[in-house]
Amino acid sequence: MTRSRRPILPRTVSLSRDGDVAVVTLRRPEKRNALRQVECDGIALAVQLAVEGEAGAAGGSPGIGEDAVQPSGTKPSAHPARVILIRGEGDVFCAGADLGGVYESGFLDAAGRMTEAILAAPVPMIAEVQGAAVGAGCQLIMACDLRVFAPAAACWIPAAANGLVLDTWMLNRTRELLGGALARDLMIGGGRITAQRAEALGFASRICDDAAQARRFAHDIAAQAPLSMRYAKAVLNDTKLRPSLSHAPAQDAHRELYDRVWQSEDVREAKAARSEGRRPQFSGR
DSSP 236-284: HH--TT----SSS-S-HHHHHHHHHHHTSHHHHHHHHHHHHTS------
Min mean pLDDT across 69-78, 85-94, 168-177, 234-243 is at 69-78
Confidence class of residue 272 from pLDDT cuts 50, 70 and 90? confident
Q: How far apart are CA 126 and CA 20, in angstroms?
A: 13
The residue among 239 and 224 whose pLDDT is bigger is 224
| Helix (H) / strand (E) containing 256 | helix 252-262
Q: How far apart are CA 127 and CA 24, in angstroms?
A: 10
Confidence class of residue 126 from pLDDT cuts 50, 70 and 90? very high
Average pLDDT, the chain: 84
**For 142-152, what is the mean pLDDT?**
98
β-bridge pairing 21-26 and 13-18 = antiparallel
C-alpha angle with apex 173: 250 to 104, nearest 5 degrees? 55
Q: What is the pLDDT of residues 3-48, one digit of tens each?
A: 556 679 999 999 999 999 999 999 999 999 999 999 999 999 999 9
Q: How far apart are CA 59 and CA 88, in angstroms?
A: 25
Domains of the chain, earliest start first:
13-210+236-244 (3.90.226.10)
Please state, for a pLDDT cut of 90, what percent of the chain lies above it: 60
Q: Supply the pLDDT for residue 54.
A: 76
Distances in whole angstroms, Cα of residue 250 to Cα of each of 19, 106, 149, 159, 241? 39, 18, 32, 19, 9
Residue 184 has pLDDT above 90, yes or no: yes
The beta-strand segments (E) located in the chain are 13-18, 21-26, 83-88, 125-129, 132-134, 146-149, 154-156, 192-194, 206-207
Q: How far apart are CA 4 and CA 14, in angstroms?
A: 22
The residue among 193 and 75 whose pLDDT is bigger is 193
Q: What is the pLDDT of residues 75-120, one digit of tens each?
A: 445 589 999 999 999 999 999 999 776 666 788 899 999 999 999 9
Instruction: Look up residue 94 and give its amino acid.
Output: C
Residue 73 has pLDDT above 50, yes or no: no
> Contact, 151 vs 195, CB < 8 A?
yes
Instruction: Look up residue 114 and give its amino acid.
Output: M
